[in-house]
Structure 1
């Protein structure tokens, strides 16, 4: 028996208050093709718990497990080794069941963890301050664009062609409701980021320039000239980092004078997890801290002089600011932030640099080997642990063929940019400390056979 607490008059009264003709009117933004017009016909109306469990287990067995095959996928989600101690510690009851620390008197452990997380993120990104995390990298990117609008009082954002297309898509979705104008283009298969083209676009209406570092093709560039050009026009530079391990080897965006640095923290402490939950990183210069979304944990002392932690800044609509809030992000990925912080603590600065060195060395060796395969061209020779190959034929069917053979060869650019013919032959390959020489050789041999 279904439990329906609202009567039809209740529903009609609620619809009347919000000015909707019917419940269906609440879903007009969902494409009609994605809406159901009735029950899902190929599902049974009911089933026993045991039969459902068996069915779901059978479905799960159809997946290719990342740790069981040569794995070269990246593009914003990376397979790194997560120490067993991370999972052990985050499952402690005081962390696993903890919720938002509104009452500092009984949430000191959670607040201290978030304070330490902020310190680690700020040092990693090279910023003066960092918040207590966001949902993920893509929403953090949009929040940075919104923050730039509030600071500059301008509504035009220039998005680099090398920004992850999923991040661009999120920004476009949100910009429909804020009126921001987004200047976007698609990348081309060339070795270097075209920062001069970005600089040429900056004008007096520009609120910010958003650039990914390393970008979607794995390319790396000195962002200092771009930062200088932005500041000359009183615009902000927003840098997006989807692979934080890279910052153990390359200069941080904050050190190149980026105003806001955001990113995805999944690489450290958080598994692939079918795409989430992940953890968004957000840092900025100190002078912009009051426009930063989310919340900030701070350190203080109590009446007896003892060290303690509090919510220092929390400009969310869930608190007193309501419609004046800087963000509608109502919480943070606290458990994922804890996993990130534990992994960072276990590594330390020396460990992070060593991990980055291993990643880069492995990627260089893989790129050199794969470039020897007939029909494979290395697009960019300056990269961290991710690079782009140009194949002699369309990459998507090649990736599917290799997947059928138990090799996850990388991310085809045709999948990310289905409408861009010039990118169809592009394949983005990621190599981490989990990739072995045997994995690389298996990929090279399979490519030689498929591309012959």
Structure 2
């Protein structure tokens, strides 16, 4: 991107052209309490490039690097080993581009990659068709609710209390502009999910029920009864998967009756990267494909009968009148989707299953050792590689205390649900294949000390 500095005259001319009196007027839709009243205290108005580099490097050195300490964070973003070949392949010139494959005659490679990605995602999530990816899991979750509204012509979505609170927040933000009603609540620190409550809440006005699988506390439940109850009232079941590696062992949501399955694909091929860019997964039943948002790469034949690939069913905001569009998302996470596809191809079905087995076995070992600490309780009856502890002390300061000991020991529910006292002692611990015996010992020792 070129650097194009603007003068005051340039800014004034542009504001006059669009009819705005000031730059601040462009941000009037942002709540006033969320806007700064002036410059940030202590931050200079300008500095030399070298001074900025030194300052930012000093700030970065204060971070605790995920790959250098025992790491047990999860809750929607997971540290897995990504083979070096993934990064090598996605940086090839044919792939490392922001080019949108509108012209199939010169974009066959990119389109084929997207087609293969869609095939992998559809098989993984247990659905008949998948799109070429979304921004991330949270936006995919909202798009699923919007899709359910279009299909059912109803506007009430019931969100499980096990859905990630950040996903809930994104949905609430978008629902302000669509009129959808979202019914949700906070989770409870117990083994049982809210499946029975969800089923009881479904009524004739319900467009969809949204569940996370495994949920924010790592709990796993059979989705079949929820799907059947939703279908009986003319509603859809939307399943959200934030840890796709789990589907190497547990049953895919689509196979249990979910109509739309979405999720975050970061676990496969994409590093943590300070929260993004990530890759949203989106799949559904074929009968709903015309209401599916995002891009869809399809297979066809050219004028000579040779196999080829094209974009199809492009009813996005860029291609159609806004009020008739299926989504306002105008792109896909192409490079991250490629990384996902390359990693998945390297693993294969057998490799994914083996990876999932290692994750689960490691998590079971850690859960057993931590449960032996006096006062610590594992609330889960079933889990994949992530489980929730109920500590004898508040979890958020305990996490900070473990950081001081060089251990990233998990995500406190007090951070995810601030002000909810009933969840303050909850700690979500994720265990993947990168965790070593030494890491487990360090976590066990640190947690034992902070719980005394």
TM-score range for the pair, normalised by the shorter chain length:
over 0.9
Whether contact under 8 Å (1:238, 1:258) holds in the other structure is: yes
Residue 438 of structure 1: aligned partner: 438
Closer, same or farther in 2 for the Cα pair 1:365/1:107, shift >3 Å? Answer: same
Partner of 1:310: 310
Aligned residue pair count: 448
3-state DSSP of counterpart to 1:178 = coil
* Cα gap change, 1:9 to 1:90, in 2 (>3 Å): closer
User: For residues 287-327 of structure 1, what are the alpha-carbon distances to aligned partners after superposition, in whole Å with 9 as ceiling and x for unaligned?
Assistant: 00000000100111111121111002211111134331110
Report the equivalent of 1:236: 236
CA distance in 2, matches of 1:352, 1:7: 53
Q: Secondary structure at the match of 2:80?
A: coil
- C-alpha displacement at 1:54, in angstroms? 2.2
The 8 Å contact of residues 165 and 416 in structure 1, kept in 2 or not, is answered as yes
The residue that corresponds to 1:145 in the other structure is 145
> What is aligned with 1:404?
404
Q: Deviations over 1:329-356 (max 9, x none)?
A: 0100000000000000000000000000
Q: Is the 8 Å Cα contact of residues 210 and 237 (structure 1) preserved in structure 2? A: yes
**Structure 1 residue matching 2:188: 3-state secondary structure:** coil
Shift of 1:4: 5.0
Displacement after TM superposition at 1:449 (Å): 1.3
Q: Give the conservation status (yes or no) of the 8 Å contact 1:15–1:22.
A: no
Q: What corresponds to 1:260 in structure 2?
A: 260
- What SS is found at the alignment partner of 1:208? strand
Partner residue, 2:223: 223
Q: Runs of 4 or more off by more than 6 Å in structure 1? A: none
How far apart are 1:223 and its partner, in Å?
Answer: 0.3
The structural deviation recorded for 1:13 is: 4.8
1:155 is aligned to 2:159: no
| Residues 190-209 of structure 1 mapped to structure 2, 5 A cutoff | 190-209=190-209
Q: CA deviation at 1:27?
A: 2.2
TM-score by length of 1: 0.96
CA drift of 1:36 comes to: 2.6
**In structure 2, what is the equivalent of residue 332 of structure 1?**
332
Q: What is the Cα-based RMSD across aligned positions, in Å?
A: 1.4
**Residue pair 2:133, 2:280 contacting (<8 A) in 1 also:** yes
1:384-418 alpha-carbon deviations (Å, 9 max, x no partner): 00000000010000000101111001000011011
- 8 Å CA contact retained: 1:409, 1:443: yes
- SS of 2:198's partner is helix
Secondary structure (helix, strand or coil) at the match of 2:134 reads coil
Match of 1:52 in 2: 52
CA distance in 2, matches of 1:24, 1:302: 52
**Mapped pair 1:8 → 2:33:** no
Deviation at 1:99, TM superposition (A): 1.3
1:295 counterpart residue number: 295
Unmatched 5+ stretches in structure 1: none
Q: Distance in 1 between matches of 2:86 and 2:7?
A: 40
Cα separation, partners in 2 of 1:2 and 1:41, compared to 1, 3 Å: farther
Q: 1:33: Cα distance to partner?
A: 3.9
Cα gap change, 1:447/1:200 in structure 2, threshold over 3 Å: closer, same or farther?
Answer: same
TM-score scaled by length of structure 2 = 0.96
- 320-329 or 79-88: bigger deviation: 320-329
CA contact 2:15–2:22 (8 Å) conserved in 1: no
